[in-house]
Chain A
């Protein structure tokens, strides 16, 4: 389905839908436990057809093997979060600056969504940034974006990332830095789409942190699937279901 041409005709910001491709990726099986020095992290990704059918070609996808880190005494820390667009932030704002009918280089997509812990029990903050459309991929029925954005974790600080966002498959982005407890962080983050463009699941592989991640961010992650929802308390931002000064 040519979501790309049909989805976006208007230029003004969209409250819902389709800056991103209609294709959604199945979350692969959980990666095996990481050793302290992240070597291989193989995971299977399943590409779906644009109709939303979850069956599709399987493709093995492994992140680059990490050279053993000699400058950091701490092991890699994994952090999982859910990014959910609840359509109440005016996001995304699809700026069709290319002035072409098909998604083209020149289109910009600023966005900001809500961020929840991996166990979907607490609201932690938001994501905020911009996707730069690079090219439309008709054969994949999707687009390539270059994304530069940050994940905000309230008083804990933020993590900045940059990398490719492909609407038709999962990607890895670079962790470029952070602030607060994430100061000095580096590594990469795996992006898995669950429901385009509303639900995404991220797994951060963080190095260079000077402290352990706080326990409230490390609850057992809910198995990613298109049907996941934040707990009602987290969604309502009730006091016990948010982190301190969660970013909003």
Chain B
């Protein structure tokens, strides 16, 4: 990591805040030196007043259960029978337990307010949708694109991966808006996810601590039961991983879960 006299110190140390609701109002005025305490909070927004249950489905097509390509309607195209493409849904929880030094808010724009130029590498823990097993981690980079004052939040361009231990990983890219849910593109994967494509719906529960994802995956074989688990826990701000999963006890993890 580059550091020089002109760069303000980059904070990446662990947080030690009590689990209180963050005070975001003062975020904007905080200088970088103070951002340690709030760096993670400021990363992803969360006005308590926000309706976390509202998901704007504008960008996510509702045709998630589509099982077949549409026929090509152009008369001059050669007639081809549609190939069914199975969509597999996979739900996971991403939780920041504040023990990975994440996120690292790099205020490289050197402006007091979040501006283009700020970069936020991050890495959080990944749990199955039923919150019974620790799967691995997320890790990647959020590039701050713009601050959106009227929404009291920010737009990021996020490029990151979800690691599922021995099963492999899924890479994603897309918009992360701290003030509303988004859909990101699934750009690829490895292991059992090799050749995967599709999209993933990101839903914030508690900014920036808890997020719930629903993957709509195509192009891969059936997912193992261990990853699909039981019915996903209904997303809400108060969800918590099962104690055994959090403690990474043998029955609360997948094999060689990424850490």
A interface residues, Cβ below 8 angstroms from B: 11-13, 36, 71-75, 89-93, 95, 97-99, 106, 108, 110-112, 126, 128-130, 148-150, 152, 155-160, 162, 176-184, 186, 208, 210-212, 245
Say whether B146 faces chain A, with CB atoms less than 8 Å apart. yes
Flag B72-89 by CB within 8 Å of A: 1 or 0 each. Answer: 111001101111010000
Q: Is the pair B116, A150 in contact by a Cβ cutoff of 8 Å? A: no
A73-B83 contact in complex given A93-B115, A158-B174, A177-B186, C-beta closer than 8 Å? yes
The segment from B40-48, B56-64, B90-98 that touches chain A is B56-64
B179 to chain A, nearest CB (A): 14
Contacts of B85 in A (CB 8 A): 184
With an 8 A cutoff between CB atoms, is B101 at the interface? Answer: no
Given contacts A177-B185, A177-B197, contact A150 B59 (CB under 8 A): no
Closest A-chain residue to B6, C-beta based? A11
Report whether B183 and A93 are in contact in the complex, using a CB–CB cutoff of 8 Å. no
Residues of B within 8 A of A182 (CB): 185
- In the bound complex, do residue A110 and residue B145 qualify as a contact, i.e. CB atoms below 8 Å apart? yes
A179 touches B184 (CB 8 A): yes
User: Does B155 belong to the interface (CB within 8 Å)?
Assistant: yes
A158 near B175: Cβ-Cβ < 8 Å = yes
Neighbour of B199 across the interface among A12, A98, A179, CB < 8 A: A179
Asked if B254 CB lies within 8 Å of chain A CBs, one says no
B79 to chain A minimum Cβ distance, whole angstroms, is 9
Given contacts A12-B109, A160-B174, A160-B185, 7 further A-B contacts (CB under 8 A): A13-B117, A110-B117, A150-B173, A152-B175, A176-B188, A177-B199, A180-B59
Contacts of A126 in B (CB 8 A): 145
**Least Cβ distance of A197 to chain B in Å?**
14
Q: Using A108-B119, A150-B175, A245-B58 as known contacts, say yes or no to A210 and B144 having CB atoms under 8 A apart.
A: no
> 10 interchain pairs (CB within 8 A)?
A11-B110, A36-B78, A75-B77, A97-B2, A148-B173, A179-B184, A180-B61, A182-B185, A186-B197, A208-B197
Instruction: Give CA–CA (A19, B130) in the complex, Å.
Output: 46
- A73's contact among B81, B115, B145, by CB below 8 Å, is which? B81
- Complex CA–CA separation, A93 to B199 (angstroms): 29
A177 to B117, CA, bound (A): 24
Tell me the complex Cα distance, A130–B184, Å: 16
Task: Give 9 closest A-B pairs by Cβ, nearest first.
Answer: A177-B185, A93-B117, A176-B187, A179-B183, A97-B2, A73-B80, A160-B173, A128-B145, A160-B185
For the complex, count residues of B whose C-beta is within 8 A of A: 54
Chain B residue nearest to A92 in the complex (CB): B116
Whether B143 sits at the interface, judged by CB under 8 Å, is: yes
> In the complex, what residues of B have CB within 8 A of residue A128's CB?
143, 145, 155, 157, 175
Complex-state Cα separation, A71 to B84, whole angstroms: 10
Q: Contacts of A160 on B, CB cut-off 8 Å?
A: 173-174, 185, 187
Residues of chain A within 8 A of B173, CB atoms compared: 148, 150, 160, 162, 176-177
Are B116's CB and A112's CB within 8 A? yes
Q: Is the CB of B197 within 8 A of A91?
A: no
CB distance from B67 to the nearest CB of A (A): 11
Residues of chain B with a CB closer than 8 A to A176's CB: 173, 185, 187-188
Distance A94 CA – B232 CA, assembled complex (angstroms):
43
Is the beta-carbon distance between B197 and A184 smaller than 8 angstroms? yes
Tell me which residues across on chain A come within 8 A of B78, comparing CB atoms. Answer: 36
The reply to whether A99 and B74 contact each other, CB–CB distance below 8 Å, is no
Provide the residues of chain A in CB contact with B197, threshold 8 Å. Answer: 177, 184, 186, 208
CA distance A92 to B172 in the complex (A): 23
Instruction: Assess whether B66 is interfacial by the CB under 8 Å rule.
Output: yes
Q: Which of A13, A72, A129 has the most CB of B within 10 A?
A: A13
A194 to B11, CA, bound (A): 40
- B4 contacts partner chain A, Cβ-Cβ < 8 Å: yes
Q: Are A210 and B66 in contact (CB under 8 A)?
A: yes
Residues on A with C-beta less than 8 A from B63 are: 210
Return chain A residues, CB-CB under 8 Å to B4. 99
CA distance A179 to B117 in the complex (A): 25
Q: Which chain A residue shows the least CB distance to B182? A: A179
Per the bound structure, the CA–CA distance linking A63 and B125 in Å amounts to 41
CB distance from A7 to the nearest CB of B (A): 17
Docked Cα-Cα span, A210 to B216, in Å, equals 14
Complex contacts, B58 vs chain A, CB 8 Å: 155, 180, 245
One of B72, B157, B185 near A178 (C-beta < 8 A): B185
Contact A90 B116, beta carbon cutoff 8 Å: yes
